[in-house]
Amino acid sequence: MDTILVVNADPSSIKFQIYSVEGDGRLRQQLKGRMDGIGNRPRLRANGAGGYPLADRAYPIEAVPDVAAAMDIANAWLRDELRIHPIAIGHRVVHGGPDHDSPVLIDHGVVARLERFIALAPLHQPHNLAPIRSILANFPTLPQVACFDTAFHRTHAAVADHYAIPRRLYVEGVRRYGFHGLSYEYIAKNLPRIAPKIATGRVIVAHLGSSASMCALSGGRSIESTMGFSALDGLPMGSRPGQIDPGVVLYLISEKGMSASKVQDLLYGECGLKGLSGVSSDMRELEASEDTNAKLAIDYFAYRIGLNAGMLAAALQGLDAFVFTAGIGENSASIRARVAEQLAWLGVKLDVAENARHSQLISSSTSLIPVYVVSSDEGLMIARHTLALLMNGSATSSVHPRVS
């Protein structure tokens, strides 16, 4: 049985999935696992397609010091114990920069080019690339495919793609990219099945999780996003601030004497819901808290979603539907209700019972704008791209020509 391994690495964990390639070319998830606690309390956990446990093992800290070591252990477990030998590996890579608007087969040259974007996504890019390098070293003939979170947004018009800065900086790559593209792409491709009447219309998708953003879809294509040059912009997140006046950064450097690295640590790790609340970066803990600052963080989160929805509706010149996805969007009925209150001016009205049941359609029959809850599947999207690239025999051009 041919299989595809999907890998999503971050600073403290590696998430992986195995998909079997069925006779009709469809993909079926066979197992899902993760190596958590890298450099702290490493633990390998995995479950089969039916949810039954396949592994739950702890490792000494020194055995899993980094992401590359975690990839080696997970790979050895899959190959030596489960006898799974994938025909290819698909990787989530957060930043493709200005060069890549579609998935690409990986070689050493591609890795070198992607290393240039580490400064644009310092929390993710180095860790996305670590397992790629490990596999290149240990299995150099095994095809690997990079799937970019930025690629789906490369359809933006020039007015949405630019900042009001000197053109030379834009040519160098300082532009608005947008992220969570694999999630939005999955939603866009599945809306025709879920809600065919609105799939080709004007849709706002809210990817709400510890990392959060929103995307404006027109005819299934991204035309605007709340995230820009980096994954810091737009909505407040678990520990990232979202939109912030650049003057704040200048103040921190000039008046507080903070170095660039200290500012980076602050913006990526100490802001957002965590910074506002002083309680937690986890929305579940904030919702359970009686702390007034926790309430402020929740109110702020819903308020900023409402503001950004107005911006995206303006970019779309109207709105035909609103979609919630990702961890908070799919699981928190109270956050969905708070956001719906912010969107009442657009004619949004929730069905309280359907929202509480986490139904797919949660708006009332009298709502002018239908509201959906749709689960995203970035892993399946990566597996599809990887299989398509293998079947084509080579990567299609992934260089985005527009610089105007």
Residue 399 binned pLDDT confidence (cut-offs 50, 70, 90): very low
Q: What is the pLDDT of residue 403?
A: 30
Q: Which CATH number fits domain 3-171+380-392: 3.30.420.40, 3.30.1360.70, 3.90.700.10, 2.40.50.100?
A: 3.30.420.40
User: Mind listing the pLDDT tens digit for each residue in 200-226?
Assistant: 999 999 999 999 999 999 999 999 999
For residue 395, the model assigns a pLDDT of 41
Query: How far is residue 81's CA from residue 379's CA, in Å, rounded to a whole number?
Result: 23
Q: What's the rounded Cα separation, in Å, for the pair 233 and 235? A: 7
CB 379, CB 34: distance < 8 Å: no
The answer to whether 152 and 184 have CB atoms below 8 angstroms apart is yes
Band of pLDDT at residue 31, cut at 50, 70 and 90 = very high
What is the predicted pLDDT for the residue at 401? 33
Domain boundaries, the chain: 3-171+380-392, 196-373
% of the chain beyond a pLDDT of 70 = 97
Return the SS3 of 391.
helix
pLDDT surpassing 90 at residue 106: yes
125 φ/ψ angles, rounded to the nearest 5 degrees: -55, -45
Model pLDDT, residue 278: 96
393 band by pLDDT with thresholds 50, 70 and 90: low
* CATH numeric code, 196-373: 3.30.420.40
Distances (CA, A) of 299 to 23, 63, 204, 323: 50, 43, 20, 20
Q: What is the pLDDT of residue 120?
A: 79
| Residues acting as catalytic residues | 149
- For 116-237, where are the alpha helices, taking DSSP H only? 125-138, 158-161, 167-172, 181-194, 196-199
pLDDT at 376 exceeding the cut of 80: yes
Of residues 50 and 290, more confidence is placed in 290
Rounded distance, CA 292 to CA 259, Å? 32
**Confidence (pLDDT) at 112:** 93
Between 401 and 155, whose confidence is greater?
Answer: 155
Instruction: State yes or no: pLDDT of 397 exceeds 90.
Output: no
pTM above 0.95, yes or no: no
Average pLDDT for residues 38-49, to the nearest whole number?
90
Q: Which of 71-80, 253-262, 265-274, 340-349 has the lowest mean pLDDT?
A: 71-80
- Mean pLDDT within 120-132: 87
pLDDT value at residue 396: 38
The mean per-residue pLDDT over the stretch 59-73 comes to: 89
pLDDT band, residue 38 (cuts 50/70/90): confident
Alpha carbon 303 to chain centroid distance? 21
The per-residue pLDDT for range 245-259, each reduced to its tens digit, is: 999 999 999 999 999
Residues 202 and 316: their CA atoms lie apart, in Å, by: 6
Topology agreement, domain 3-171+380-392 and domain 196-373: yes
Q: What mean pLDDT do residues 280-307 have? A: 96
Tell me the average pLDDT of the chain: 92
**Long-range contacts for 356-363 (Cβ within 8 Å, ≥24 apart)?**
358/330, 358/331, 358/333, 360/194, 361/195, 362/336
Position 330 confidence tier, pLDDT thresholds 50, 70, 90: very high
Give the pLDDT of residue 118. Answer: 87
Pairing of strands 371-373, 321-325: parallel
